[in-house]
Structure 1
Amino acid sequence: APLRALPEPGSPLTTRELGFEDFLRDVKPMTRPAPTAGDDPGFWLYSSGSTGRPKGTVHSQANPYWSSELYGRRLLGLRADDVCFSAAKLFFAYGLGNGLTFPLTVGATTLLMAERPTPEAIFRRWRGGVGNLKPTIFFGAPTGYAGMLAHPGLPARGEVALRMASSAGEALPAEIGQRFKAHFGVDIVDGIGSTEMLHIFLSNRPGDVRYGTTGWPVP
């Protein structure tokens, strides 16, 4: 919707419509980074509203670095040759790390998807049907994993390049993790996170997954 420019208090009330292009005309590229500190406010993310209306959660400039370093790089072991693919979109805290800050931190490739994360859409990308890229790391949620395992079009192990999968958003049933491991030969690394913490703060570990548990604190 158009924005309205308001006069100074006490002036006659007049309005005019300003479009986004009007603001861009007066903007010049920054010649140097803004003088921010790590604990300065950087951005807001809104919670899911599970206890009422969604709440704006303020994150510092340094928060994306620390979640990427502690969980993405050190815990998951993401590498520059990985192709990351997240079912959760960038406007979720889970998806923001999976699809943006984690891969960019290590120089990996990220595969974004605008459409709904249906099994068919996910399988197409697992098989390399978009950009000829086969994801090596997939980030999903238990409901999605259950739906994919029950789908008749589930790819065979040899059709995909997955080396790891991650799960959050709800508790992962042990049976789902075990069936996924039996079919694809890779574990689902389950953890729990929140918008307030920006990403996962309790998690299983690659190579040490205990299905039916949430894992240990992310150091």
Structure 2
Amino acid sequence: MDTAHVDTFARDNLPPRELWPDIRFDLPELQYPGRLNCGVELLDRMVAGGFADRPCVLSPTERWTYADLLDKANRIARVLTEDMGLLPGNRVLLRSANAPMMVACWFAVMKAGGIAVSTMPLLRAKELCAIIDKARVTHALCAAPLADEIELARPKCPTLRHLAYFGTDAPYGLEARMRARGGDFAGVGTAADDVCLIAFTSGTTGVPKGTMHFHRDVMAIADTFPRSTLKPEPDDLFCGSPPLAFTFGLGGLVIFPMRFGASTLLLPAASPPVLLAEAIERHRASVCFTSPTGYRAMLPLLPSHDIGSLRKCVSAGETLPLPTWQAFHDATGIKIIDGLGSTEMLHIFIASAGDDIRPGATGKPIPGYEARIVDAEGKPLPPGEPGRLAVRGPTGCRYLADPRQAAYVENGWNITGDAYVMDEDGYFWFQARNDDMIISSGYNIAGPEVEEALLAHPDVAECAVVGSPDPDRGAIVKAFVVLRPGAARDAMALQDFVKQTIAPYKYPRAVEFIDSLPRTETGKVQRFKLRQMEEQRLSKAS
């Protein structure tokens, strides 16, 4: 199908076709037409289908129906195309905390045939410049409170020619421009394989990559995990903590609820757990998306907050430690769905729900996806043998002009960077990120397994385990530990506890107590920073 893009930058910078993963549309619900605009499908069709007056997007201060959102998205689309000269295929930087206007801007870009490049609110000018330059961003819609960094970046970004702020009463602000435009906009007839978003990875390995996704990819994530595993209902109210600039948040807090006529409650990104617990109690939310850290942080809040309205909880971003899953289940009766996804794949592709959950296992490939464990040469491994996780389905990795494409896709399979074991029943059990496997005196030790053992100790609030260079052993297991308030810094007690929990050779030979772990804005632990610290210490010592 011919592209609707006038600006063909994105299509021109897709990886060579031979480096694309195999894309499978094996389910009837994944048979999409050649012309497809995900904004029209998720919004206009829901309004036309009887959901116009249903609640759609809520915040602590706002309540929009589906018709309200459509009206605002259409007005923004007209501002973009009529005032700001947006052409189909232009890239639009979106910059805001989680808020209804951020959702309206995203839908406006989709309907106008643009490409959304959403950014985390805490990014600084230098990081914004790198993204704007990489994606050749031409337009930006930014929340007024976040103006400082984009104004610092703007003089260094010659491609960024059009910028509008929202959340302001200024005469040239986005809201003022919206009032001058009508609330009708048909939507560009994009091709199903036109790029509609460029999502940048969260930087757990240091250098973010731009991942390109099509309109049909957005619809595919809506028609796989939520349809088969989460099973939302129109009366559900979604809530959670991931930023909308993170594909976990975009899917879980916007795309999934709207595909099924449900509503979503948006809280400012990076809200403390107490605000999430309070919001669930006050608004009676029924579906929650947050990270393992978020669920663990909510545990001490449960005695003082009524979250009994929750019926489904989804965890992603990092693997869910068994102690966290068990403690949350014991306190609430809820079996958290541990979802494995990636920015490259757009959203979750392995998970299990309800009685199909095996505590400690991530789950099985969701309908529409298939997965297997492969060795270093890409050959399939039998059940019980650890190896690299390979996956394929209706979505897949397409990096924006990045040589790392060849490392992520092998023989049509997406190699996620995770080490897993598949059991005889087809359940996948996380071992480590491939770069988190520690080789010490010839032993392969999975850092997450040691972390899970440490988290079972009542004094441990958080921890991260990495390999620290050692001249005798190659590397030793080192644990960085955040203690609960009032706990004693007793490294030996923690070491002895781990020895009693898992094989003694896996215990952390070094323990360092710290106040907090380095994290990305999406909540993922940046273990590479801890490894760099250890390497620097070794170089200074030598």
Tell me whether the two structures share a fold, i.e. TM-score over 0.5: yes
Shift in CA distance, 163/196, structure 1 to aligned 2, threshold 3 Å: same
Q: Which amino acid aligns with 2:196?
A: G
Does 2:258 correspond to 1:104? yes
Q: CA deviation at 1:35?
A: 1.9
- How far apart are the structure 2 equivalents of 1:115 and 1:90? 8
Partner of residue 455, structure 2: none
Q: Which amino acid aligns with 1:210?
A: R
Partner of residue 350, structure 2: 202
- How far apart are the structure 1 equivalents of 2:241 and 2:277? 11
- How far apart are the structure 2 equivalents of 1:29 and 1:136? 32
TM-score normalised to the size of structure 2?
0.35
Q: CA deviation at 1:102?
A: 0.4
Shift in CA distance, 134/28, structure 1 to aligned 2, threshold 3 Å: closer
1:49 to 186, 203, 206: 203
Q: Which amino acid aligns with 2:297?
A: G
Q: Equivalences for 1:58-77 in 2 at 5 Å?
A: 58-77=212-231
Shift in CA distance, 194/52, structure 1 to aligned 2, threshold 3 Å: same
- Contact 1:99–1:112 (CA under 8 A) maintained in structure 2: yes
- How far apart are the structure 2 equivalents of 1:100 and 1:115? 14
Does 2:251 correspond to 1:91? no
1:34 to 173, 180, 188: 188
Identity across the alignment (%): 34
- How far apart are the structure 2 equivalents of 1:118 and 1:158? 17
Does 2:330 correspond to 1:182? yes
- Aligned-residue Cα RMSD (Å) equals 2.8
- How far apart are the structure 1 equivalents of 2:191 and 2:309? 40
SS at match of 1:139: strand
- Contact 2:284–2:307 (CA under 8 A) maintained in structure 1: no
Does 2:301 correspond to 1:147? no
Q: CA deviation at 1:29?
A: 7.4
Higher Cα Rg, which structure: 2
Q: CA deviation at 1:87?
A: 1.2
Q: CA deviation at 1:32?
A: 2.7
- How far apart are the structure 2 equivalents of 1:171 and 1:27? 46
**Could you list the runs of 5+ residues in structure 2 that have no partner in the other structure?**
1-150, 165-171, 368-542
SS at match of 2:354: coil
Shift in CA distance, 102/67, structure 1 to aligned 2, threshold 3 Å: same
Shift in CA distance, 215/3, structure 1 to aligned 2, threshold 3 Å: same
Q: Which amino acid aligns with 1:216?
A: K
- Contact 1:3–1:18 (CA under 8 A) maintained in structure 2: no
Deviations 1:21-40 (A, max 9, x none): 49969998774321211111
Partner of residue 172, structure 1: 320
Partner of residue 288, structure 2: 138
1:211 to 336, 359, 373: 359
Higher RCO (C-alpha 8 Å, min separation 6): 1
SS at match of 1:214: coil
- Contact 2:291–2:315 (CA under 8 A) maintained in structure 1: yes
Q: Which amino acid aligns with 1:206?
A: G
- Contact 1:142–1:173 (CA under 8 A) maintained in structure 2: yes
Greater Cα offset, 175-184 or 75-84: 175-184
Which has the larger helix fraction?
Answer: 2
Partner of residue 162, structure 1: 310
Shift in CA distance, 29/163, structure 1 to aligned 2, threshold 3 Å: closer
Q: Which amino acid aligns with 1:137?
A: V
Q: Which amino acid aligns with 2:293?
A: T
- How far apart are the structure 2 equivalents of 1:57 and 1:30? 31
Greater Cα offset, 48-57 or 193-202: 48-57
